[in-house]
Structure 1
């Protein structure tokens, strides 16, 4: 056995002897590497060190998926696909990381999280309900192993950008991220969608805009193109059948289904700016990026007149997506926000039209007003919206955080009525309200309008 020092010099990486491992994908060499009393396994084929940037899979231990054949996750499928990809290329390695079970929370906690997911939570909410982090994996040993084996420059087999960033911070050069050809299963589709929406995992590849739109049956093809080609102000909100966007505790994960959330990400991908109010950031800590579909992130605008949003929130602490923090003239912004954040002062008692003018001074293109209910309602009541996508989910919440609410008319004859289109998004029903002449002119007529 051999040993080398890790980057800190505090512990020693102990390598075991090399032995052969015949598999259905071909003959691999296998050996152990131990760091801090934790032993990991490495499977190699060919001469990875002789390649400029070999294929490498850093695979997290998953008893249920890898050994027991569970379809709740895609770990077993990813493991098999990674070995097949390495065998096809003839050179590469798989680093099997011990004690990464359940994204680092351990087997017992992972099974507790499974029980909460059976009750309706997604994978992120379940971890948080247990007081556990979304992802606590440490890749120090993986980086040390790659350096020891002469592979400091790799092509990483993963759909997880965070894994790439973690390895890069440890000195490994990731020249590209290679997505494995693993299809979602019915049993894990919701789980994988949650990781894409809430943990920034890569979406399955799509070839072009037409194909992307075609994957949402019933949605008129002109919708996204109109947002990209013009300068509209559009709002999107998903609420329950009885008009709430979250429970009384603020839990909004998720009111609508994955198809509606894909629709939201397509809107984000076709606008220049996305606006949310301070309460939405405080309650939901959204990323406001494009993850479920291909496309560029819009500039994030946070409407926060009293500078209440904590600097630890994702939008203020995590780049590189440009973010504009819109605060009142008398508000004092906290220090230590990310370099991607620009602070802009709002005029006193800023109206929705004033806020739009501020955004127009920063970016050109369509603007998405994404939330929350009070912000969307104020823009609707002020006549500042060109379109409103209002999705109704087949669920009754009873009471909670309200969706669309504003001071309305006293008689039905004066109630707000506009041209509209409706389309189904999975189990949900989305109504697109065309609130301005411009939005009608930008839209192709359809039987539902």
Structure 2
């Protein structure tokens, strides 16, 4: 019915619309596939995603649908070849939205998701996939790697002429609100058991026994009490942006994923108002699974624009810490305006005390260069992640700057380790032992490219 482009946070997808025999419209988001793909190309990664208004659009925590959809789009963007078939009419495993909400009411009384459907006179799963197979075949995807934890989808598509050469489980971490629902899918509907990988274990506060992510981030879960991280990406000659303020992008995609992992492992992410004015960041977790941190904007002069993403998008709670008594216009319900006495610089440890009073003890200081430098100079940072990109800017917005010393012997020499992210190099500095001079540096993390 239509064929167009859809730019998203993950990638720009081809978006193709279809209409089935009942008049229902469906869409396929695809990337890197075409009708004339030769046999030498690997089978595309394909997710057949059942429509879920509550999970996909409203952020429901009763299911894992929205997280699965975002994770599927993220994986497609990373692999560069595949499709998400968005099957409408599958709400509540095809019983409809209102009936699904009636089933929710039964589940609130302790009935599981299968018995709730049956009690309302519906099948446990009324979905069909003939239209999904037809869309895949029309787009030339006859052999696929199916991104699903549901063996029934594989059987259904195989019977409809789609060769599933591999089924790749798509498992996101359980939450308190959906643990019973997910357990029912596994025990009564044959879905794959949750095999928590390194990242899911880290999100759950555990330390995986081995693996690259465990080596890189496991220490963060060993930290007792408050933890302050800082991250900065800069050029080899020490700039985070050009002299015009252009900062898109100094470091590469793998470093941005690393940044999102840090965001997912903390309670709050802190930036200065200048960073919001220049970059308009969202400060959310999008490149990996995980919860969004509380966003904190330090704005001593009240310069944050009212249309900034952190003030308007509602994706995560936001603390807008403003100096002085200048009036504040209407803000979204997710924004709390905190008044700071005076209009001068905000002392780092006082900022951390403010966050701790709100239960925010694990903090990431993200930008810009002046803010990160101020926290480092104040001795308020436990771990600093400094990423250098192989680019020479020559002049621009400075990155990390610490207090100068007359003698090199007096310079900071904290324990460090390094790992490669694509073309970029991350140097991780343990500033809790900022004056230590290690006899040997910690072993480098293997290349993650």
TM bracket (short chain) = 0.5 to 0.7
Q: Superposed, which structure 2 residues align to 1:188-227 within 5 Å?
A: 188=80, 208=196, 210-211=198-199, 219-226=215-222
Answering whether residue 284 of structure 2 is matched by residue 289 of structure 1, we say: yes
Gaps in structure 2 of 5+ consecutive residues: 3-15, 85-169, 173-194, 203-209
C-alpha change, 1:277 and 1:226, in structure 2 (3 Å) is farther
Q: Check whether the contact 1:232–1:439 (CA below 8 A) recurs between aligned residues.
A: no
Distance 1:423 1:219 in 2: 11
Aligned residue among 238, 245, 254 for 2:249: 254
Q: Does 1:401 align with 2:397?
A: yes
CA distance in 2, matches of 1:316, 1:306: 16
* Residue 414 of structure 2 corresponds to residue 418 of structure 1: yes
1:447 positional shift: 3.6
CA contact 2:355–2:361 (8 Å) conserved in 1? no
For 2:338, the equivalent position in structure 1 comes to: 344
Aligned to 2:378: 382
- Cα distance in 2 for partners of 1:297, 1:181 equals 18
Deviation, 1:59, is: 4.4
1:334 aligns with 2:334: no
Aligned-pair CA distance for 1:236: 0.3
Match of 1:58 among 2, 27, 52: 27
Rounded to whole Å, the distance in 2 between the matches of 1:354 and 1:271 is: 19
Instruction: For residues 400-439 of structure 1, give each alpha carbon's deviation from its aligned partner in whole angstroms, at most 9, with x where no partner exists.
Output: 1110123311221221221112122222111111111599
Q: Calculate the TM-score normalised by the size of structure 2.
A: 0.57
The CA deviation at 1:219 is 4.5
Q: 2:272 aligns with which of 264, 268, 277?
A: 277
**Alignment RMSD, CA only?**
4.1
- What secondary structure is seen at the aligned counterpart in 2 of 1:220? helix
8 Å CA contact 1:275–1:300 kept in 2: the answer is yes
For residue 226 of structure 1, report the CA deviation from its aligned partner.
Answer: 3.7
Partner SS, residue 271 of structure 2: strand
The aligned runs of 1:18-417 (5 Å cut-off) are: 42-44=18-20, 57-59=26-28, 81=46, 85=48, 154-155=51-52, 164=57, 176-177=65-66, 179=69, 184=76, 188=80, 208=196, 210-211=198-199, 219-226=215-222, 230-330=225-325, 332-348=326-342, 349=344, 350-417=346-413
Q: Matched residue of 1:264: which SS?
A: helix
Query: Does the Cα contact within 8 Å between 1:323 and 1:340 map onto a contact in 2?
Result: yes
Deviation at 1:63, TM superposition (A): 12
Unaligned runs of 5+ in 1: 1-30, 33-39, 50-55, 71-75, 87-91, 93-153, 169-173, 193-203
1:311 shift after superposition: 1.0
With over 3 angstroms needed to count, the CA separation of the structure-2 counterparts of 1:380 and 1:314, relative to structure 1, is same
Q: 1:186 to 1:316 in 2, by over 3 A?
A: closer
Q: Does the CA contact (< 8 Å) of 2:227 and 2:363 recur in 1?
A: yes
Q: How many angstroms apart in 2 are the aligned matches of 1:341 and 1:290?
A: 18
